[in-house]
Each structure stands twice: as C-alpha cells, then as structure tokens.
Chain A
Amino acid sequence: MEKAAGRQGSVRKQSTGLGANFRKYWPYYLMAFPGVVYLIIFKFVPMLGCVIAFQDYQVYKGIFHSDWVGMKNFANMFAYSDFSRILTNTLMMGALRILFCFPVPVILALMMNELGSAKLKKTIQTAVYIPYFLSWIIVSELIFDFLGVSGLFNRGRALFGMRPLLVMQQSRYFRTVYVLSTIWKEAGWGTVVYMAAIAGIDQSLYEAASIDGATRLQKMRFITFPLILPTALTLLLLQIGSFMELGFEHVYSLLTPMTYSTGDIFDTYVYRVGILQAQYSITTAVGLFQSVIGLVMVVFFNQLSKKVSEDGGLW
C-alpha cells in the first residue's frame, strides 16, 4: 500500500491535508460516519447538557431559555443533608468493594490452579461463572428469596434455634449484602483473566522448584502469586479509578426505602429525585460533581497503572 502510494506520489503532486485525504480515502470516512454521529448524540450532547447544572432549568423553556443561576445549584447541593448521606454511602461502598471483592478472584484463581483433575476444574469454573451472566434483577430476587422469612438463610438459622433475621429490611446490613452479592456474581468470572495469566507461566519454574523440594503451598506463594501480581495490580488500580461506579442496577434492585440511610448512592438518588421527581438542575449538579471526581480518579489511576506495568492502563 505504501509503495503503491509512493509510486503514485512521484507521478502526481504529493497530496496533503484533510481534503486530499478525504478524496483518496473517502470510504473510511463513510464507514466511520455512523459511529461518530452516534458518539456525538449519545455521549457528547449529554456532556454539553451539563450546563443545566448552572441553570434553573425548566422543561418548557428549554436549555437555551432557562435562567442562569451560576453556582447556586452546587451551593444548595452541599447544604443538603441528603448530599452528605449519599456521598458517605458511595464512598463507603466503593471502599468496601475494593477491600473485600477485589482479592477474591485472585485467591480463587490460585486455588483453581492447584486442582489436579482438569475435568473437576472445568466443572467448577462453569459453576462459578454462571452468576455473572444473570441480570441484577434476577440476582436481587434470588437474594430477597434466600434472605426472606421462609428463605434458606432463615431456615438455616432456625435449625440452630435462632430467630428469623430480616436482613434486607435493615439498613445496617445493606452494605454487607452489597459486598457479598458482588462477590457472588462477579468473583467467579473475575478469575478468567488470572487463569490466563497463570497459563502463561513458564512450567520449568515449577519443575525447578520441585527439584529443590518446594511444597505446593510454597510454589503457589513464591511462583504463581508473584507472577500474577502485576495483572492484579493493574486491575486494582483501574478498579480504584472507577470506584464511584457501584452499579446503578445492582444497588437499585437491592434498595428499599428502609435501607436508604446506608444504601442510597449518587446513582439511585439522581434517578429518584432527578428523573422521577423531575428536579433536573440540582441532580445534574450532583451528577456533574460525581463525573468530575470520577474523571480525576480514572485519569490519575490510569497513569499510575501505566507506571507500574508497561501494558497497564485503559488507553
């Protein structure tokens, strides 16, 4: 291709500029067109729509005729008692998620690697992957049933003579349920990346260790674990970067008015107050606050992960 272009270039004048590029490669422009239009409408126009955070937005007046109010929405937002609640909940759940959910796939993958039988390994993998493919609505219904009065959880308690405990209706258990449900649904699937990293480890390392008399636990501890650590670190940094993304569907499907005090996060609050109650401007301010923090976190931790490993980072 380049040679052909070079030959052409020697005959005609070397074409430069976007116009010439378009004339020569117009099919590429045509191909990219729908995707670019899509990105503009679905991603960039809503970004511009953030200006209503600085307006007293009225639907009938529209974005161009609503009154500008400066930072008033932000000032109101910080004064809200709701705001500190949803900020605390979001931060707490994000932190708990990284602390408790992140290590599980690493441990699972290390253990799966120790299984002798390939058949058993395959069966266990199939089983632990399944929850990942269920929707949060389904998972939340399974949880509500499991923890209900006649669910397996309370029947198990009854076997030990304990009284039924209504977990889903008590705010103090919400975050625990959130963390455990994340693990149940996602930990199994999370092992895939680590299993791939483990599969790439040079087998001669294990053979050498065996000759030196290493036990299986020592091989796991001193060979497998250090070699998957870079993968784990990269994923950890990316996850910290997006720690405000707790999953609207996940939290919303578990949330009841009884658990708002500990479980209501930015996403669920914005949906209830912004979309259902149509308080557009103030909730856009809340959303913008969240997006900007998210942006800073993602960029910072992405750069950091590029530093720790050369193919780390999302971009």
Chain B
Amino acid sequence: MNKRTAGDRVFGVIVTLILILCAVIALVPLISVLALSFSSKVAVNTNAVTLWPVGFTFDSWAAITGRPDMWRATLVTVITTLVGTTLALAITSLLAYPLSKKEFGLQKMIMVMVVITMIFKAPTVPYFLTLRSIGLYNSVWAMVLPHILTAYNMIVMRTFFLSFPREVEESATIDGCGPFRTLLQIVLPSSKAVIAVIGLFYAVTIWNQYQHPLYFIQDTSLYPLQMKVRQFVNESSELQTIAAKKAVNYTERSLKAVVVVFAILPIMMVYPKLQKYFEKGAMLGSVKG
C-alpha cells in the first residue's frame, strides 16, 4: 500500500467518482418522483421541483390515500403475494425434495419434464386459452397460480437438498420418521436460508407482476396495485379530472408521483433489510445440480 503511485491514486479517484455517479443515476428518478409527490400545485406546474419538495404539502397524498380503490388494489396485491408465496414454497419444496432422492423411481423422468419447461416456452395464445378454460379469467387465482412453481427456483432448492447430509436424514429414518416428517421436521428447518431467499424471489415476482393481471383481469375491482398504476398513468383521464378542479393543491403529475411512490414503498421499506438474502439468492443460482 505504501508503494501506491500517483497513477494508482488518480485511478482510484476516477473509479470512485464514476461509481458515485452510477449510484446517483440509479436514485435520481426515485428521489425526483418522491419530491414531486410532496410538492404543491404551483411548484409542480412551474417546474420548480427537482430533487426536493417545493411548497411542501400532503394534499396529493391525501387525494390518493383517500381513494378506497387504491386500498382495495393494495389488499389484492398483499393477499395474492402472501398466498402465492406460501403455495409456491410448499409446492416447490414438495417437488424438489423427492427429486433429490435417487431412490425415487420417477426422478429422472420428472427432471426431464422440468428441463423441457425451461427450454420450450409454450406460445402465449394457447397458454392464455388453457388458463382461461380452467376458470382463471377474472379470477384472483390468475395472479397466484401461474407463479407458484418456477423450474429455476425448484432446481436451486433441489441442489440445496442434494447437499443435505445424508446421515442426518438416515438417523431420522431409523428413529421412525417417514419422508414427510423428515422433510418437515428435519430438512426444512435447517434450510431456512434457502427457503427465505426463494420465498423472497417468488414474493417480488408476484408483487411486481403485470402480465397476468393484464391478460386475465377485466374486473377493475380485482386490479392489483401494478394495474392500478397502469390505469392511472396511461388512461390518466381519471386523474386529470380530479386535478382539474380549481381549489385543489395538486396536479395530475403530482398525483401520478404519489401512485408510483405508494406502489414501491413496501418494497423500498423491506429491501435494505433483506439485501443480503437477495444477494445470496443471486449467488445460489450460479450453483447447479
């Protein structure tokens, strides 16, 4: 370290500056939309808002959070995420566990099936028609069932089960545990980290999903948050009408900003605490069976 040349120091400074710039680029759009959501009508209309609220007000927030449909959409998103993640973890671990056992007679065959689903994606239209024919049209299940088993997550979990010490499972078997009890009471409790990671990825997928509700949900009372954002942002006539009233202290743009912040707030609140799990997950993916 004491031999650092001037060139090395210059290099270090340049790299640091570039990376700080990258971090700023990643955050500026979010800070800007946050600032807009708390700014007054005059400030927004005169383009006075950059990265800090101008004419600080909660009026836009009050207008959006006062809407029952926003809360309804939040409820739909929360429930589908919770139910979906639970189901996903159950069905994924139940499939991954026997597939990690070479005694299981169908192991090879089912693994081939799983790999086929990874390399050949059924075209959208027959997929849509199949799901519609089993009654997923305008059903909340259309936002749950399509996400509860991902080949990739299943393989990651199976890889983890494969590395589980066999002696531990054997001693459980000798003590009279059947495969179900072994899985539930021995294997899963020691796999909390991998369960947490995979659960998080399922949860983010379901929370952020947009394609399935777009295809299947026509009934606006079943809209999840992402569809609500889309509805306000794209067919913004509704927000325009609200914002057109003279007496109000918000604009269409500040209302949109609130909707956006509202939809990302839950993820932003949990993300910093869970960051290390997410990182772990991304690395788990690079180990395969």
Contact = CB atoms under 8 A, between A and B. Distances in A.
A5 to B, nearest CB: 8
Given A133-B204, A216-B8, A280-B125, A152 B32 contact: yes
B22 A108 contact: yes
Contacts of B105: 18, 21-22, 25
A127 B33 contact: no
Contacts of B233: 137, 140-141, 144
Interface in A191-236: 192-193, 196, 210, 213, 215-217, 231
Interface string B149-175: 100001000000000001001100110
B5 interface: yes
Contacts of A39: 113-114, 117, 149
A283 B32 CA distance: 41
B20 A315 contact: no
Interface in A113-170: 114-116, 120, 123-124, 126-131, 133-138, 140-146, 150, 152, 155
Contact of B27 (A1, A127, A137, A270): A127
Contact of B28 (A38, A152, A280, A298): A152
A145 B258 CA distance: 13
Interface in B229-266: 229-230, 233, 253, 256-257, 260, 263-264
Report which residue of B47, B50, B123 has the largest number of chain A beta carbons within 10 angstroms of its beta carbon: B123
B89 interface: no
A34 B260 contact: no
Interface string B195-214: 00000000010011111001
A124 B23 contact: yes
B110 interface: yes
Contact of B229 (A27, A137, A267): A137
A241 to B, nearest CB: 9
A134 B115 contact: no
Contacts of A116: 12
Interface string A22-59: 10110111011011101101111111111011000000
A25 B104 contact: yes
Given A22-B105, A111-B18, A127-B27, A137 B230 contact: yes
Contact of B22 (A124, A146, A253, A267): A124
Interface stretch (B59-67, B68-76, B78-86, B281-289): B281-289
Given A25-B104, A138-B264, A192-B279, A46 B126 contact: yes
A189 interface: yes
A141 B15 contact: no
B34 to A, nearest CB: 11
Nearest to A42: B146
Contacts of B116: 43
B126 A52 contact: yes
A112 interface: yes
Contact of A47 (B27, B44, B122): B122
Nearest to A192: B282
Nearest to A128: B26
Contact of B275 (A36, A126, A267, A284): A126
B180 A27 contact: yes
A137 B210 contact: yes
A84 interface: no
B256 A133 contact: no
A263 B72 CA distance: 34
A28 B103 contact: yes
B208 A27 contact: no
Per CB-CB distance, the 3 closest pairs between chain A and chain B, nearest first, are: A287-B123, A49-B126, A35-B95
6 contacts: A1-B103, A111-B18, A245-B121, A284-B125, A291-B122, A295-B119
Given A210-B3, A271-B124, 5 more contacts: A28-B104, A47-B120, A47-B122, A112-B19, A131-B26
